[in-house]
Structure 1
Amino acid sequence: MFDTLQKWLENLPVSAEVIESVLMIAAVLALRGIFLGAYFRSHPELEIEEKRRSVVFSRNLTLVVTLMGLAMVWAAQIQTLALSMFAVAAAFVLATKELIMCVSGSILRLATKQYSVGDYIEINGLRGRVVDINLLNTLMMQLGPHPSVGQLSGQTVSFPNSLLLSHPVRRDNILGSYVIHTVEIPVPVHLDSDAVVNALKAVLNPLCLPYVEEIARHLEAVQAEKLFITPAAQPRITRVPHDDKVYHVVVRFASPVYRRLEIQQAVLDEFMRVQYRLLNALSPA
């Protein structure tokens, strides 16, 4: 039967490699649809983020498998052209340097597991939540516009994966469903730091207290699993001198990812109220 199929392919007006390529691509796409549909049906409780990760992973895996399959189908032709196309290949590499760097950055991300769909990251001044990843670029929903505002702006921003080779990546939710969040508040130097810090502690501590023990246990588990030192779960407020006009109050706390913005805003609101009262107390009657 295989010999008959091979003879039939040889008698067709198009080359066997073209037909094999078309059949292989169709088979890979069909298998992807079958396995993805079966996975979703067997896991109906999956959240949209998990489904999105599965779709992105299957799409990228399908692309890699297809490229490898095409390379195997056309191996003989590629080998024949290799020697005669050396000079062209060198020019092609120079012309597609940025493309190669993007693919290299994508390989680096996969190897180091820097981030995935749903993570909050910052790179080269761009901050956002990752919504899509492919071999060439990463798409994320932008956070902002102010650095202290962690809400989604409703705009998307993409960057080439080549940035991963030359810029550090900051990932907020490295601890899973919890986050260690820090906000730095500039305070006029003539305002009483004790009054500011005590007022902020009175707001911060009750908001964080329900999660401290739970987060502490989670951090211990992460430390044992990944073998790196994790920060403390207790909230802290530190005063740092800056210059002759302002000092900085650094507020650091641990919370679930979905509550960090609410806690941060409560602290900032209280600071604005305290600053207003202190400035009015210092102003002449």
Structure 2
Amino acid sequence: MELIESVKNWFSDYPVASNIIRYLVWVALVFFLIAWIRRWMKKNLHDNAIKYKVQKAIQIIGYLFIILITISYFTGSIQDFGLAIGLLTAGITITLQELILSIAGSFYIFFVRVYKPGDRIELNGIKGDVIDIDSMYTTMMEIGEWVSSDNYSGRIVKLSNAFVFKGPVYNYSLDFPFVWDEFNMPIRYESDIELAKEIIISAAQEILSEYVKNSIAGWKDVVNKYYIEDAQVEPTLAITMSDNWIQFNLRYIVDYKKRRITKHLLFEEIGKRIRETNGKVTWASATFEIVKIPTLNINETKHTSDNP
């Protein structure tokens, strides 16, 4: 008891020294908590990216605590505890804004149904199929890049959920799992144009009939749900003329995951039927017509010499 009384008397006799000791105790406590929390995060968090960000954030928050303690002890300018908490909260928000946005993004994705696992999306310029969504990241199997068409590249991409607030999200399968595709076919001017039109449309109708049938009901739901005009889902053909050929543009609807194979089947069937016309319809290629060849006169002059 005498020891405690003597310590109390010493603190009362030397207020400046006592404040410094209290300040050092608080600082030591903050550093201890930072070290303990970082060790706990290191053991319990398995994602290295999240582990790194959280550990850095905890460290910065600890520094903010030390700054507030320093101001309150040595300047006395912060008397209102609510103001101190407000400043600390603002600091935490700035420090963890990416983390907070990612968590908020996961709730937004879930409740608004921006996308779900299995959807094909394009987010932050990266296109792929969603294979997982957690509280921080959206995981996609990438398509495109160095491979043609909509094929998998083999890379798995993790994107922060915060990107749903930072730019557009393109969803290939939300509400309407079909897309419109098109390609051009050059036909020679000497071909039977009506026969060519019949071949292309009939082949498209046969190959795409299942897609057209399934897309009609889906498109009606889209028209009823959104402010959008009705669109034609049947294959359509547009014809334009160029200097070298007649260009047939086939536009059609297809399952968003089957663009490549569908285009292959269409080209194969249309090419087969064109070959069966025995020359009535033929493919065109770039041609060059030589209008005039300039005349080249070569005069051979024979030199002779007179011998004396």
Structure 2-normalised TM-score? 0.49
How far the C-alpha of 1:119 sits from its partner, in A, is 0.4
**Pairwise mapping of residues 61-76 of structure 1 onto structure 2 (< 5 A)?**
none
How far the C-alpha of 1:251 sits from its partner, in A, is 4.7
- Which amino acid is the alignment partner of residue 167 of structure 2? H
Q: Which residue of structure 2 aligns with residue 252 of structure 1?
A: 251
Cα distance in 1 for residues equivalent to 2:248 and 2:204:
13
Cα distance in 1 for residues equivalent to 2:164 and 2:155:
22
Give yes or no for contact 1:120–1:128 (8 Å, CA) kept in 2.
yes
Q: Which residue of structure 2 aligns with residue 182 of structure 1?
A: 181
Which 10-residue stretch deviates more, 139-148 or 165-174?
A: 139-148
Give yes or no for contact 1:148–1:183 (8 Å, CA) kept in 2.
no
CA separation of 1:157 and 1:222: change in aligned 2, threshold 3 A: same
Give yes or no for contact 2:131–2:139 (8 Å, CA) kept in 1.
yes
**Pairwise mapping of residues 88-107 of structure 1 onto structure 2 (< 5 A)?**
88-107=88-107
Q: Which residue of structure 1 aligns with residue 140 of structure 2?
A: 140
Higher helix share: 1
Give yes or no for contact 1:215–1:233 (8 Å, CA) kept in 2.
yes
How far the C-alpha of 1:206 sits from its partner, in A, is 2.4
Give yes or no for contact 1:182–1:250 (8 Å, CA) kept in 2.
no
Counting matched residue pairs gives 197
- Which amino acid is the alignment partner of residue 207 of structure 2? L
- Which amino acid is the alignment partner of residue 145 of structure 1? E
Name which of 273, 276, 284 aligns with 1:278.
284
The DSSP-based 3-state class of the residue aligned with 1:155 is strand
Which one has the largest radius of gyration? 2
Cα distance in 1 for residues equivalent to 2:208 and 2:134:
38
Cα distance in 2 for residues equivalent to 1:103 and 1:141:
22
- Which amino acid is the alignment partner of residue 251 of structure 2? R
The DSSP-based 3-state class of the residue aligned with 1:132 is strand
- Which amino acid is the alignment partner of residue 157 of structure 1? V
Q: Deviations over 1:240-259 (max 9, x none)?
A: 89xx9xx9976532234454
Q: Deviations over 1:100-136 (max 9, x none)?
A: 2222333332343111110011123211100011222
The DSSP-based 3-state class of the residue aligned with 2:149 is coil
How far the C-alpha of 1:200 sits from its partner, in A, is 5.2
How far the C-alpha of 1:219 sits from its partner, in A, is 2.6
- Which amino acid is the alignment partner of residue 108 of structure 2? L
Q: Which residue of structure 1 aligns with residue 58 of structure 2?
A: none
Q: Deviations over 1:50-71 (max 9, x none)?
A: xxxxxxxxxxxxxxxxxxxxxx
CA separation of 1:227 and 1:90: change in aligned 2, threshold 3 A: closer
CA separation of 1:271 and 1:104: change in aligned 2, threshold 3 A: farther
- Which amino acid is the alignment partner of residue 142 of structure 1? E
The DSSP-based 3-state class of the residue aligned with 1:279 is coil
Cα distance in 1 for residues equivalent to 2:238 and 2:123:
27
Q: Which residue of structure 1 aligns with residue 162 of structure 2?
A: 162
Cα distance in 2 for residues equivalent to 1:237 and 1:91:
60
The DSSP-based 3-state class of the residue aligned with 1:122 is strand
Cα distance in 2 for residues equivalent to 1:115 and 1:82:
40
Instruction: Tell me how large the CA RMSD over aligned residues is.
Output: 4.3
Cα distance in 2 for residues equivalent to 1:253 and 1:131:
28
Structure 1 position 219 matched with structure 2 position 219: yes
Q: Which residue of structure 2 aligns with residue 51 of structure 1?
A: none
- Which amino acid is the alignment partner of residue 142 of structure 2? Q
- Which amino acid is the alignment partner of residue 125 of structure 2? G
Give yes or no for contact 1:181–1:260 (8 Å, CA) kept in 2.
no
Structure 1-normalised TM-score? 0.53
- Which amino acid is the alignment partner of residue 170 of structure 2? R
Give yes or no for contact 2:138–2:161 (8 Å, CA) kept in 1.
yes
Q: Deviations over 1:75-99 (max 9, x none)?
A: xxxxxx9875433322221111222
CA separation of 1:99 and 1:272: change in aligned 2, threshold 3 A: farther
Q: Which residue of structure 2 aligns with residue 17 of structure 1?
A: none
Unaligned runs of 5+ in 1: 1-80
